[in-house]
Amino acid sequence: MRKKVIAGNWKMNMDLSESINLISGLKSALKEKKLNCNVVICPPYISLDTARELVKESDIELGAQNMYFEDSGAYTGEISAEMLKSVGCKFVILGHSERRTIFGETDELINKKVHKAILSKLIPIFCFGETLEERESNRTFDVVKKQVVEGLKGVLHSQMESIILAYEPVWAIGTGKTATPDQAEEVHKFVRNLLEEMYNKETADGVVIQYGGSVKPDNAYELLHMPNIDGALVGGACLKAESFVKIIEGC
Ligand code: 13P
């Protein structure tokens, strides 16, 4: 039985004092609640160390929004897997569409990062999804298949236990246009079948596949109760404790 994972991708929002306020708000709102899911927050790098202290003795786990695949060296501006672990990260978002489109990340680069994260015992939240143009020209399944196959190239059966997938249709990110539960489920089911072809049924059935793209308190419950949707990767609505907690309660 897959346990749902709700992750908040803060993107480039919240300075240190705002991060402290948001985490404190989340902690107190979640304190007395019995959670049906795992909760992860992915603040900007500058807040990770402080966040680690704040989430101690809570059910909130910590992730980063990106990393580089090399161990160390002359890679100005980059962050390594070990650095993320040293500030308490357990998860790392990889292949987000904003990394792909704004920063030119390729499937090949993302695949190297996926391998590095797994070997370093960080859980990748590996993102993929089609643009509006790709959907309108009926290429959704081809695009998703290519991104998943290339992003997971060389990842072993046994390593699939330590990876989360996140379907994020680009047209639904930050636009207020959510995929309908049926539209999302169709792609999630397609990906689960693809994982069965690439690995086997048992492995495919065990993989958590999150949905991301304008998840809000008023649409979360329906999305989260589709058979192949195992959680959410939340952008805008995770920046306020109240709306993030409502989404968590939708599990
Ligand atoms: P929004 O929830 O703001 O659409 O962002 C989704 C996302 O990109 C999460 O990674």
Distance 74 CA to ligand 1 centre (A): 31
222 is catalytic: no
Contact 48, 19 (CB under 8 A): no
Which residues 6+ apart lie within 8 Å of 103 measured at CB?
A: none
pLDDT at 178: 85
- Kindly list the protein residues whose Cβ atom lies closer than 6 A to any atom of ligand 1: 9, 96, 168, 173-174, 212-215, 233-237
Which ranges of the chain have pLDDT less than 70? none
| Fold topology of 4-249 | TIM Barrel (3.20.20)
pLDDT at 212: 97
Instruction: Please identify, by atom number, the ligand 1 atom nearest to the C-alpha of residue 166.
Output: 10
pLDDT at 174: 87
105 is catalytic: no
pLDDT at 1: 79
Q: Residue ranges per domain, the chain?
A: 4-249
Among 98, 130, 134, 168, which one carries the catalytic annotation?
Answer: 168
Residue nearest to atom 5 of ligand 1 (CA): 235
